[in-house]
Structure 1
């Protein structure tokens, strides 16, 4: 768990937290500007003061860009770069007042670095956050000690007070990361246990949710037949033929049942709930290799298409593609092309009697990179066709 972050385990939560980077980033920049203006009389080198504020803004922009949907997970290298830029801003502030500093308490370095670390809590492991906070506190402590000595202050108390702010924010970020990751992992374990139990029940035909499966349908025919045969005085030729037919059908149903996936079951649920015919073409069982986030997105999209008579029928095709996945930039998704074998998912909705909100589909498309889907084609006409590519790893 030391190397895991909230965003790695729940990419939707990671993207939802991006707005806090902008809000917190503005607070950090305004703090730097406000404290610089407050001790402007101590500023010897205005250019260094301006560079310090710009470096604070740069650290925020680096953090925001590093959490973009089209980028891979937020790396430790990116975290180190963001924190180093914030520390560089504190160093620029130190240079701007060198030789003229009166008080240490009005330095913005510890506060700004602490805010940056706090903003990155959803994207870094608690160990990375603690390491970054301790190294930053060590560097800033030297800068503040030098400032305090030149200002003639008693060095320990003001420096300890300033560094404590940074360490407190680091502790808060690490506590959030550790607690949130622990909760997500525990929830995933519970979901996995439930899915395994449910899958075993569905495959055996005993699940109350598998009444539509061929095994369950046959079971409702086999059990009455067995009860009748067991109470009969003798077995007729017709009974023997019927038993042979049921045995052959049961073997075929079992083979089909073991090849079925959660997507087949979802299609059956949608067909029963909304009366929409759902055809799933997945000869290799690729649906089982989709991640939890990808399954949620596919299920949500299919459910929305099947509601309110938006579709008369749905077709879902999963296959492999040898062609590199490409994405045109005009959709603003910014997905990179990759070479090699990739998974291919095509969802086709045939027009129903209800009204289809095409703007809603356009709003749905940018969510695809969040769950590592690459949008290859979107055709929103009388029928809707959306094609995704994804990693098979």
Structure 2
């Protein structure tokens, strides 16, 4: 209900709202989101006997405003809304009516306090936020043909809001990974960057840059005409390896697209057999640089069969289920299996009578990882699309993702999802504008 006051009646209030540029800007922005998802979620929650005060949609709009306006703290969000009371009405907060007030309600009493804004951010349902993000992907699919055929994966570091990340503050055990920080008990210590520094004697020493925080994994797609789109996101404490983000991101990506990506691309941190496996199942490739992870490099034939140190093609014997979850193939010395050939060999294992033995991951993805031609035009064209994640990360950084001013992991994750929603809404607005222009040309 539009309030009325001794100063403005309802018709005047409606006119003020319709003419306010800030209100109109946010109406246009919010019109690109599917609010029926929020209404349905809220109805289901209310039917379980949990009365709601302010609608969840009002809080979501307030948090999206906070990110768009670059407001770091809940106090700043509250102050902004108090300066724009027409937004409070339009966001559908439950108003505390006061006919003597200029706009017919008490804005100070209507808005939640700073603490409750923070508590509501922490307790937002992550599944609801993911549904809202997925809805933006569906809307983008309707505007961009072929979206999601190639998907790029990457992880961005985030600094937790703790004194341990402030190098000017004295902390006795700054990098003790076993401690639980008072400023944010959910954040973890991880390595942001590792470099080798040359010492005066010519040797090198590894230097690690550590931080307490989180990682924000993102799956993105790009097109030359429409730009970059977020397909999925996932937040974890910073002590988790980059490759652990892949499966959750891939699953969320498939749910959002209602199909599986054909091609995958990522940096060398994602060089794992199961990344290639997902691509090969669906007739594509995983454009990922080869990373031996410190293991010895041994030669393979073009079909993935290992060669012994004497460059001989080894003989396959038995297959078995490896403890790491993949099907493994054992290869033995070709001079001894399947029958001894009588040809001598000076290798130490041959002298022991058993010859060389290699147990090889024999899944399709593992064979693609080894046999993939990383100089081919197909590989290069797909790998260049990895930069879409870098551009998405740059947009997210401008929206404040790198330094979240909250004190727990749930709030960090929820803010991250809302940031990617904003990025997708901007992409959707751009796509609609481009398509409208194309229709007018025809």
Task: Give your verdict on TM over 0.5.
Answer: no
> Higher strand fraction: Structure 1 or Structure 2?
2
The structure whose RCO (Cα within 8 Å, separation 6+) is larger is 2
- Greater C-alpha radius of gyration: 1
> Higher helix fraction: Structure 1 or Structure 2?
1
TM-score of the pair, normalised by structure 1: 0.28
